[in-house]
Chain A
Amino acid sequence: MVLISLLPILIVILLVAGIGTYAFKSNKKRHRTPKKMKWVVGVYFILTLVAAVLSYTVFPAEKTESKVISKEKTSQHDEAQSKIINSAINGKLPNLNGVFTKKESWNFPFNGKDLKISNKDEQDYYANVFVISKPKDDGVIEAAHYMGKIIIDGVDFTERKGSPHINVNESILRIKAPELVDVNFTRFSEGFAFDQFTGRQSMFSRSYFSVHGNEFILLKVPKSVRVNGDFNYVNAE
């Protein structure tokens, strides 16, 4: 095992040693004018300079300057989200404290007595539904979509993901999956020496971490409405 894992390293070392020795030492022997050597190095240096300027200006990539979320922060988010969800499942909706943010809300006039929640979806979309019984009958179902942070490898994608579609038709509240979001991105880093002092992952603890973001739908229903389907009753604290 050790041998196999060392082999590529050794091969690279040998390769570099070979090239380094050849490219440098051959200058001693081969007939080459000193001027040419200076040209090669000079041209390369200018090329990289131009490349640096271009990569800063002409290709304005999605820059995530100082938005990179550390691993610690990410797992804090993860824990906070799970804690709230778990608590809610047990019947208590704690203070959201910014862990979840309301992405969208709806108001549906409703005069029926029974409400069926249908969150069956062909796209395999599932969101927790929490229901709070309002103290009075005001004939309005208030629905809200809350989302926790989606962090993939330190980048916040919460904004990318949309809310589900919710509508109330007769006595059925349907939850339809939001549009599919497919994020395909390329990530650059200057290298471990640059990561070491900028609060990014250091070279040895680099792991691809992410929080996929929990979400839930909070329904506030009039006092007399009976709800059935897949949901939890909660009391807000």
Chain B
Amino acid sequence: MSLTDVTTWEITKKQYRYKLKSYFGVFSSLVAIQLLAILFSLNGTGMSGGSSGTFSYDVNYYTGDIIQVLVMIWAFITAIIITTKAYRYDDYSFVTNRLISHYSNILFLFSASILAGIMVFFTGHLFRLITILLKNTDSIMVSELTLLGTLKGITASILYIFLCASIGYFVGILIQLNRLFSFLLPVLFVGALFVDGMNNDPTVFPSIISFFGSENFLFLFILKIIMASALFYILAISFSNRMEVRP
């Protein structure tokens, strides 16, 4: 009997390649979400107008914010779903262990975030095109990004999506550990929102959001996202190390 020796990295690569194919369904839900986001965005996010003497103006604002936000929620949900039984055990039909399963999931989520981020950018253009065709305005203002700006924007978009995925992954693992969390976590979250906003001066959530959102240096932003998502993944991995397969 000759036993095969394999390394973690070698199998991680194989599992990752397998997951790219086997979790392909996430992208069909991504398409559905993006179409929904376009629908929501068609209303525009705002209007402003005014006049002074002989000069008057009306501005309709359209942003890709909704697309971005919905895709972030999608990433969150997707990450939860791949921790559920139906998906978690796919890799156990082949060679793996817990750590490899996590590593390949993280790699998968990262790749999915990259693709989703790029698709957010393109979907933004699809949305723009649809709006142009539907709208009758004498002028369309496109604050066109430079190539560098575009790349920075896509990077930021991807990282936001990835952050949501890592939170979702952590939440998913908690729920797999104990079903109670699926009830407890939303209650805690909404409860915290209420408590925070009780005196009409929320501080905790805005400061968490501005921790990322107000960071104008891309490098520091990347660092913050990586640190935060690494934290969630490390917690998820350490919590799930004793979990059994198909018990």
Contact = CB atoms under 8 A, between A and B. Distances in A.
Contacts of B52: 212-213
Interface in B136-152: 137-146, 149-150, 152
Contact of B143 (A27, A64, A124): A64
B56, B128, B138 pick with most chain A CB within 10 angstroms: B128
B135 interface: yes
Given A24-B26, A24-B28, A191 B157 contact: yes
A129 B86 CA distance: 77
30 contacts: A6-B190, A10-B190, A16-B36, A17-B73, A20-B73, A20-B81, A23-B33, A28-B86, A38-B24, A41-B24, A48-B125, A51-B125, A52-B126, A61-B142, A62-B140, A66-B146, A155-B141, A177-B53, A179-B54, A180-B55, A184-B58, A187-B60, A188-B142, A190-B153, A192-B63, A193-B160, A194-B152, A197-B218, A202-B214, A204-B213
Contacts of A34: 24
A10, A37, A68, A192 pick with most chain B CB within 10 angstroms: A192
A123 interface: yes
A210 B58 CA distance: 12
Contacts of A66: 146
Contacts of A45: 119, 122
A24 B84 CA distance: 12
A104 to B, nearest CB: 15
B120 interface: yes
Q: How large is the interface on A (under 10, 10 to 19, 20 to 34, 35 or more residues)?
A: 35 or more
Contacts of A155: 141
Interface of A: 1-3, 6, 10, 12-13, 15-17, 19-25, 27-28, 34, 37-38, 40-41, 44-45, 47-49, 51-52, 54-56, 59, 61-66, 68, 123-126, 150, 152-155, 157, 160-161, 177-198, 200, 202-204, 208, 210, 212-213
Contacts of A64: 141-144
Contacts of B228: none
A199 to B, nearest CB: 8
B149 A198 contact: yes
Contacts of B156: 193-194, 196-197
Contact of A192 (B28, B68, B198): B68
Nearest to B56: A182
B65 A192 contact: yes
B216 interface: yes
Nearest to B37: A16
Interface string B202-231: 000010011001111010010000000000
Cβ-closest 4 pairs across A and B: A194-B153, A191-B64, A23-B29, A48-B122
Interface of B: 24-36, 40, 46, 48, 50, 52-65, 67-70, 73-74, 77-78, 81, 86-87, 119-126, 128-129, 131-132, 135, 137-146, 149-150, 152-154, 156-157, 160, 190, 193-194, 197-198, 200, 206, 209-210, 213-216, 218, 221
Nearest to B65: A191
A155 B57 CA distance: 12
Nearest to B44: A186
Contact of B152 (A48, A197, A210): A197
Contact of B67 (A10, A123, A191): A191
Nearest to B135: A186
A183 to B, nearest CB: 4
